[in-house]
A and B are shown apart, each in its own frame.
Chain A
Amino acid sequence: MSEKSIGRPSPILLGIGVAYVAILILLPMGMVFVEAFRRGPAEYLDIFAHSDTWSAIRLTLLVAAIAVPLNAVFGVAAAWAVTKFDFPGKGLLLTLIDLPFSVSPVISGLVWVLLFGASGWLAGPMASANVQILFAVPGLVLATLFITLPFVARELIPLMQEQGADEEEAAITLGAGGFRTFFMVTLPNIKWALLYGVLLCNARAMGEFGAVSVVSGHIRGQTNTLPLHVEILYNEYNFVGAFATATILAGLAIVTLVIKSGLEWRFADELSASRRH
């Protein structure tokens, strides 16, 4: 069913909307590219000659590649549990899912330091097992997992609540088991919301600064993700390098958006069919 427009928007309203987006989004984004190319393309491309840049790109993609699938699985499982079943502690689970949204990212990083730091609760066992959490990839992954935990679940819960459990019940009475019901009925019904959730989760995982900054230790070439690398370069007055690195992040975001739009265009029919009856 298509949404009908109720008429033309008033020019004032439209103007405010366009100006708002231009000032808050386009202007800063444009600045990034202007600053990155301030001294010409040669200097811009110079950052790609540094191994630190490549290691930051690799690390950022690695952390996202671990955190996003884990939180996608968790998000689907949590949304499934919360919307299709009743159980004690449901309210608590919902509150906990929202917690990372309301906690400052710095605190989200700090909790891992308190747990695994030199005098942290789990410092002893970790040291004896010879496992390095802080200032290493596991710490970055944990902090990113914590920060991006709500995205998929939050995207799915309202949709699955609206859809109810009717179709699943129908599938079961028709002889389908739990697995088939999930993969043939539930998953196709939520796949677009799941995709949006994953994209949001991914954007945040690659862009997260605060929490990751606390646990990273800023070791160049080892524990610097792209956002942290930008900060280091900026603090070293390497403005072109900082902005050039920032364009990589912007580029990753644009790639994500292009994938999303491409999928929407490719599956437009199915999308409109599955939205509602």
Chain B
Amino acid sequence: MPLIIKNISKTYGQSQALHNLDLEVGDREFLALLGPSGSGKTTLLRILAGLISPTTGDVSFDGADLLSLSARERRAGMVFQHYALFRHMTVAANIGFGLRVRPRRDRPSAEEIKRRTDELLRLVQLEGYGARYPSQLSGGQRQRVAQARALAIEPRMLLLDEPFGALDAKVRRELRYWLRRLHDETGVTTIFVTHDQEEAMDLADRVAILNGGKIEQVGAPNDIYASPATPFVFDFLGAANEARGLVRDGELHVYDARFPLPGDGSGEVKAFFRPHEVEINPADGRGFMAEVVGVIARGPATRLECRRGDQVMEIDWARGRLPDGVTRGAQVRLAPERFTVFPAGT
């Protein structure tokens, strides 16, 4: 693991942005830092870039101390949330900036800088845009210029801060796959901050989920989705319904129903299930009783709101027509196909 982050904390006055955080990032890996706003993910990225210093902790890169290097010595290509393109420079001048500011002895010749700039323009599919100014580009084009500018310095790692945060949904999706291909081509170790779980799951080799300045879980997207380590992770990775339950003799008791639950735990639990993994049965079928309080047709799926006591649950029905008798005010039985349980009090 070339990038090793050990015991990093960052305090701003009274508030602590990062708590004793440990993380390792592999060579050529594409890692997503996923978390809600205020979880400390951007703080961690800025520490790696050298724009802020941690209060305590160590970071090493390829066995050498990273924190003792200044931001300009780190060769960490950073792509900022709003791109931070130099507005008075052309696209080509933006991309070549990192080469032009090198000390004279390391600076490539003007022709070499131009050649590399053209190459990068091709790589980010912006050939012919070199003479434009950032204000003459669309959001997606600016994003790619920022990417090319960061790649121009032959970075040892790429740090992307919500790179698609300012783009509309369609462009986001297009650029997402483009970015993944670009990473596979260039092979630069990349750390990518986002609050969009779909983006993180789609793109990354591994995802680190941050909450309140701590890492909740690190792992491959599928592993995290299949076995979330904490209620926060389960909740953050998609819509979730929560019910209180009791585990006894290999069974999960939820309301007036019992569900088989392999494993040998017992005691009070929080039981979570996804809205789209629920079977809807008639009142004499399997599952716990609930009242349908709302039916909203939304494209391919139908959203049901069901109430049990003071708990309102959301069910997404995507299997064609709703079963007979499922209307507003009906009593139905709900049988989640899969539960994820955590001990009560977590």
Chain A residues engaging chain B, CB cutoff 8 angstroms: 1, 166-167, 169-177, 180, 184-185, 188-189, 270, 272-274, 276-277
A58 CA / B76 CA spacing, docked (Å)? 54
Q: Residue B338 at the A interface, CB < 8 A?
A: no
A169-B51, A273-B135 known; A174-B84 Cβ under 8 A: no
- Beta-carbon contact of B78 and A176 below 8 Å: no
- Beta-carbon contact of A173 and B101 below 8 Å: no
A188 CA / B134 CA spacing, docked (Å)? 15
A180-B101, A189-B87 known; A169-B80 Cβ under 8 A: yes
**Chain A nearest CB: distance from B329 CB in Å?**
52
Q: Residue B21 at the A interface, CB < 8 A?
A: no
- In the complex, the chain A residue whose C-beta lies closest to that of B71 is A172
Q: For B136, what are the chain A residues with a Cβ–Cβ distance below 8 Å?
A: 273
- Beta-carbon contact of B153 and A273 below 8 Å: no
Given A169-B51, A172-B72, A273-B133, 15 other A-B residues pairs in contact with their CB atoms under 8 A: A166-B84, A167-B84, A167-B86, A173-B71, A173-B74, A175-B73, A175-B75, A175-B153, A176-B98, A184-B86, A188-B89, A189-B87, A273-B88, A276-B135, A277-B85
A171-B97, A270-B88, A274-B88 known; A1-B135 Cβ under 8 A: yes
Q: For A175, what are the chain B residues with a Cβ–Cβ distance below 8 Å?
A: 72-73, 75, 98, 101-102, 153
5 sampled A-B residue pairs with Cβ under 8 A? A169-B78, A170-B149, A184-B86, A273-B88, A274-B88
**Chain A nearest CB: distance from B78 CB in Å?**
4
A177-B72, A273-B88, A274-B87 known; A166-B82 Cβ under 8 A: yes
A177-B72, A273-B88 known; A171-B133 Cβ under 8 A: no
A189 CA / B84 CA spacing, docked (Å)? 12
Q: Closest 7 A-B residue pairs measured CB to CB?
A: A174-B98, A166-B84, A170-B84, A176-B101, A173-B78, A273-B133, A188-B88
Tally the A-B contacts, defined by beta carbons under 8 Å. 85
A169 CA / B77 CA spacing, docked (Å)? 11
A177 CA / B133 CA spacing, docked (Å)? 24
Q: Residue B49 at the A interface, CB < 8 A?
A: yes
**Chain A nearest CB: distance from B83 CB in Å?**
8
Q: Residue B50 at the A interface, CB < 8 A?
A: yes
- Beta-carbon contact of B153 and A174 below 8 Å: yes
Q: For B97, what are the chain A residues with a Cβ–Cβ distance below 8 Å?
A: 171, 174, 176, 184
User: Of the candidates B74, B101, B102, which one forms a contact with A171 in the assembled complex, judged by CB atoms under 8 Å apart?
Assistant: B101
A170 CA / B136 CA spacing, docked (Å)? 20
